Amino acid sequence: MQLLRRGDVGPAVANVRSTLTSLGLLSAVNSGARGEDRYDVFDAAMEHAVRAFQQQRGLVTDGTVGPATDRALRDATYRLGARPLTWTISQPMTGDDVAALQVRLLELGFNPGRPDGVFEAQTNQALRDFQREYGLTVDGICGPATVRALKQLSPRTTGGRPLFLREQERMRKAGPRLTGKRIVIDPGHGGAERGVTVDGISEADLVWDLARRLEGRMKATGMDALLSRGQDQCPTEPERAKFANDSGADLFLSLHNDKNSSPLAAGVASFHYGTGNGITSTIGEALAGFVQRELVARTGLLDCRTHPRTWDCLRLTRCTAVRIEIGYLTNEWDRRRLSDPSFRDVVAEGILIAVKRLYLLGENDQPTGTFTFADVLRHELAKAE
């Protein structure tokens, strides 16, 4: 689609304005320079509204309407009951109505998975289970009769976060050992797409090298570590998520470097799935926190904290997924450190330790920054005996 930004004019701008107005983020009338009403101008007020929407939806708040923001705007227009919902394998339905259905099923004691607004197999099964239990036609279609039943019934679960409890129980059952855990490591960009490139140093090369270092350490602990791409490949984010889903991955770790127009911008940030309005991957949030604390403690990089996002690599991945932005290549100090192989070894160890902490669930843990690769190997050996 065409990228829309301030100064653009045309029907596409008018459509976005109409959606923002219906969401209450923009006034209904926009006065042009000569006093006439102009709905097709991307002005400062519209840019402000786009930024507000992006912040609400866990998107990058750049004030431009690209593919991710356009999709989110379309999804935001759907309300539960306005259209029939069903599972279509080739192109799953998405929208706020799907998310509302998933939340309602969770409240009623069914398990549609994470309420991410994507109608896939698990949501279909939960809907059919609900229809079967309440004497409705079991067709997997959320039509008028099913919507009425969903709205009439009182929640079985009140307070707390049922999804959190399910995710926590799944982690408990997985056990503290790393052996057998399947991890997809996703080095960003690749092939002809080099990512951020400064002074001949490219993001694609750095994260590829980091991914290989992390892969080796994970395999040494008994984990089944897979790379999402080859060195000369650059899959799309949905393709990377599909690879993780098809592989039956337990975790998905996406590695990137950042950039900024200011050379002073620096540091490390970690991202997990979350809409910014209370819907989040609780285990993803926990893993992002572990990664962030370990890397800050071990590397001295500025702490840019953890953040919820709805990027495709986080939203479409069925397993726990985290994206890590490790340093700014546009910052001379960050760039110099990332160029050092020994520094990338420190980063790889920090990410491995963060994964270990996730599975320990607080048992037999050690202070942040003190757990080592050797400690992990000893722990795995002790558990095997």
Q: Which pLDDT does position 282 carry in this prediction? A: 85
Q: At 299, phi and psi to the nearest 5?
A: -105, -20
Confidence of residue 2 (pLDDT cuts 50, 70, 90): confident
- Has residue 369 got a pLDDT over 80? no
Class of domain 176-384: alpha beta
Q: Which pLDDT does position 107 carry in this prediction? A: 85
- Has residue 163 got a pLDDT over 70? no
CATH architecture of 11-76: Orthogonal Bundle (1.10)
Which of 118 and 382 is assigned the larger pLDDT? 118
- The per-residue pLDDT for range 293-315, each reduced to its tens digit, is 999 999 999 999 999 998 999 98
Give the separation between CA 130 and CA 103, rounded to whole angstroms: 13
Domain(s) of CATH 3.40.630.40: residues in the chain: 176-384
Contact 288, 281 (CB under 8 A): no
Mean pLDDT computed over every residue of the chain: 89
Mean pLDDT on 149-176: 69
- CATH no., domain 96-159: 1.10.101.10
Which of 316 and 280 is assigned the larger pLDDT? 316
- Has residue 150 got a pLDDT over 60? yes
Mean pLDDT on 351-360: 92
Give the separation between CA 6 and CA 70, rounded to whole angstroms: 15
Contact 284, 295 (CB under 8 A): no
Spatial CB neighbours of 308, under 8 Å, sequence gap ≥ 6? 58, 271, 272, 273, 274, 275, 276, 280, 285
Domain(s) of CATH 1.10.101.10: residues in the chain: 96-159
Confidence of residue 34 (pLDDT cuts 50, 70, 90): very low
